[in-house]
Structure 1
């Protein structure tokens, strides 16, 4: 097995040592065990299933099918894999089209039918004379000029244009015949796509029955969160376990309670699964809870939050600690955005006054695909120009965003699982980070849909460490924090 792990490391250009629980998961799968791995945000869960085409290979690399809840996760991971020369694609929600990427860093294979297509795309970009993101956004796809701009329904292509056309990444579309041939190493798909006629036939084909070596479920906790009403196909993923009885089966997440693990095992039809987990405590993350004004103060209830943010952003600008602010509604987001825009004026830009140079932005379901992709791309950087993001949705799930230093919740999420997922996006490099959550009595009202008792208790308990409360909810009784108590959480600071 060691030689196969080394081959996978070479293919994925991994130069650092694997972590203990990554290796333990790979060993469990190699032994034929179903496996659920609960590993902290930033631990490297996706790397595990990305190594499997070679770790589980027989005569040739196998196919790993990754079931994923969000297109943005698929885009981010496929783009990274393609930059390393891995044959990876993601399928649209309807299961009719596969998407991938091609970059200047990727070696072209002259025998592939897409090669001329890639070249034509790049030549057309050059001939268009574009040299920055704003102009790229104006490009359109037509039969004479095959250039993919940023918007292709929900599956969007991100053009890396920080240094002009030298770093162009183009999206490539293909029909499902290429997927059907099995000429792929990692295939990402939504749960819904797995049950569509086209992809369903492909999965049952002789090629896939022979070559699929693993069915991996990423962010598996979403089965519990979305599987009832919002996206019921999540609860049918277990049918794939039965469809591929000889393949390995892996589910990964950063958060799962003991009862959730039992429920997931049943839904996924896993047999005596190996459970691998790590204490998810983030010692570098300071946890804080504050109260805010009641909802009777429609907008002024937010002033205690937004005013200090603006003052610090105005002073520090590109040195402002990268912060995600989760707000409760589009109306609230609009208030935050207009307030910051009015206060910063021209100081909101680093360099030329164009959207790509703005130091704050917004991310919500009604925002354009182009600007969503710009924000996701910025957050992948070690030193992004973007310093503050206002969001109404679960921005960042599955995204490698190393520079995030602070998470602010203007209102508590409905569950501790959601909360822990979101605060886990801060401090991924090990840098000191903060998670600040505001609440009022309206936020914790019994008639709030989906609100868990555990979240209410977490907000209201003042005489117990916030860190320990969180860990005990997920089945751990000890913290990894060993610093001064005033750096642990706001409750510990008050109890000193």
Structure 2
């Protein structure tokens, strides 16, 4: 840990996980993004190699992810290789020969390759010589049909245990609820494995959800106010929206690029490389841009469309602030998001079973509850993963507690309006028309169907269009109203309507605040009653001289990264540079004590770092 990676101590459950793996035990590791999962198998791989136990094979789902991890390992002096589809036959043979010769400590490969006869023959050869040390299965949630990134190829990985039962295995993921965990254990035959569940809390991430009014402009204000010149990811649901949003941001002066699976492979790779290597670049993307992103200094993740479930939200927002510094998870959320997600789950054209649909509804409901809540968002988020917590002091609801109003009467009005409309004309109508009726608007459609004669006409004129939208969104989220996708999103009473109509439940909503919803003004982020300081406290505490050293160190790092064609964070991450700038080490001995400075990097860069600090 200290000599190779430069870290003075283990974090959380890392020490137990590493000790168990070195001893040859199987493990299922659940640890949040940025929590240090990779070290949990990389350190045992180094230790078992030094003990003569051979090669560690890492199952990794994306080329970009395995490539970046290999380069990072090589930078600290660990012999690592990867096999992927971009290599030609001669390159593949060279990689495998190095492994046979005992020159490789970790070999990364995709699940599709690992289960091929050729690769299994390669593993058979190593196993016959007792040279297979460990199988590490990264992003293990992909094995589960309940997981948010299900990949059928992962199901075949059970054969590793069947074929090489003497080789220990470690499955790792950042996101898995209880149902997904059980599925991982069953599918990978990990019934005897030790299960390690770290805290899912990412205290440095500030969660914000705003009501959609003009989402593009809201996004722009958020970036300009909170994250000018910062690296960030903006997630959109469709490829078209990705490209349009990227183009619009560029027109507004934001350095942005698009990424989705429909772009040519060369363009995707170019854009991803630029995102990893350049500073202050914003990537607008579908969820195709995800697991391969190992960039630690992403300062924000924004959603212009709601994800499918809470695991997807947690996984995607977790790509912000991997370095432990302050970061934001921002989402614009409206009625259309709720309707669209419900529609996709209940799509009659889907071949999904009813049991599967029900699980997906439960997962979506958890995300809706987090988005609609007026109390701490982090408490809601962690509760989904069965982790109790207290109000965090670092989400929008904690920092700026919303005012609420009793919307129970309004909810009853809307449900009654649906009932009266259907009773009169045996037809269903969309939310807009029903709100027009309640607000007493004499539109052409109202007159066409004589809905001005209904007892509900005009009874809700005291509420604005925006307030009614919030009521409808809450009713759809609660299943009291169902939006029929097959009939132009018309509204009908849902299974939970009876509970509300019988007076057995109440509905409380946040007051609509146009200033807050529009994104104008910086959100207050200061120390709270919990005592939590901003995660960027180390940066904020730097004096003028230390700031000058940090600027010089970042400029030096940029040059080194460009010369070696590496992302800057692979040379040193921001947290390490901040510590160097703050401590201003006088010699190599002092520099070696700073977190993130291992022996290989000390030898390679130590003298230059001291020179930069002295000249700053």
Do they superpose with TM above 0.5?
yes
1:26 and 2:18 equivalent? yes
Which residues of 2 match residues 79-478 of structure 1 at below 5 A?
Answer: 79-93=71-85, 97=89, 174=94, 176-206=96-126, 210-225=130-145, 231-292=151-212, 304-310=214-220, 319-344=228-253, 359-380=255-276, 384-397=278-291, 399-445=293-339, 446-449=342-345, 452-460=361-369, 461-478=372-389
Aligned-pair distance for 1:277? 1.6
Q: 1:54 to 1:428 in 2, by over 3 A?
A: closer
Identify the match of residue 64 of structure 1 among 47, 51, 56: 56
Deviation at 1:308, TM superposition (A): 4.3
Q: For residue 465 of structure 1, report the CA deviation from its aligned partner.
A: 3.0
Deviates more, 1:399-408 or 1:37-46: 399-408
1:226 & 1:93 partners in 2: Cα distance?
28
2:503 maps to which residue?
none
Change (3 A) 1:312 1:474: closer
More helix by share: 2
Shift of 1:14: 2.6
Mapped partners of 1:419, 1:314: distance in 2: 23
Q: Secondary structure at the match of 1:264?
A: helix
Q: Deviations over 1:53-104 (max 9, x none)?
A: 23234642621100111111111101112223322221125998586xxxxx
TM superposition shift of 1:374 = 4.6
User: In 2, Cα distance between the equivalents of 1:84 and 1:485?
Assistant: 36
* 2:19 partner SS: helix
Contact kept, 8 Å, 1:219 with 1:252, in 2: the verdict is yes
Corresponding residue SS for 2:343: coil
Give, in angstroms, the shift of residue 365 of structure 1. Answer: 1.6
Which residue does 2:353 correspond to in 1? none
SS of residue matched to 2:207: strand
The SS at the match of 1:408 is strand
Distance in 2 (alpha carbons) for counterparts of 1:485 and 1:94 = 42
1:152: which partner in 2?
Answer: none
In structure 2, relative to structure 1, the CA distance for the partners of 1:489 and 1:452 (3 Å cut) is: farther
Q: CA separation in 2, counterparts of 1:37 and 1:478?
A: 21
Asked if the contact 1:214–1:249 (Cα under 8 Å) also holds between the matched residues in 2, the reply is: yes
Q: How many residues are paired up?
A: 388
TM-score (norm 1): 0.69
**What RMSD over aligned residues (CA atoms) do the two structures have, in Å?**
3.3
Cα distance in 1 for residues equivalent to 2:95 and 2:204 = 46
Tell me if structure 1 keeps the 8 A contact 2:58–2:136. Answer: yes
- d(CA) in 1 for partners of 2:86 and 2:398? 46
**5+ unaligned residues in a row in structure 1: which ranges?**
1-5, 100-171, 294-303, 349-358
Counterparts of 2:224 and 2:332, CA distance in 1:
23
Q: Indicate conservation of the 8 Å contact 1:288/1:489, yes or no.
A: no
Q: Summarize the Cα distance change of 1:92–1:466 in structure 2 as closer, same or farther, 3 Å threshold.
A: same
**1:165-193, CA deviations, whole angstroms, 9 ceiling, x for partnerless residues?**
xxxxxxx9836444444432111111111
More displaced, 88-97 or 65-74? 88-97
How far 1:475 sits from its partner (Å)?
1.5
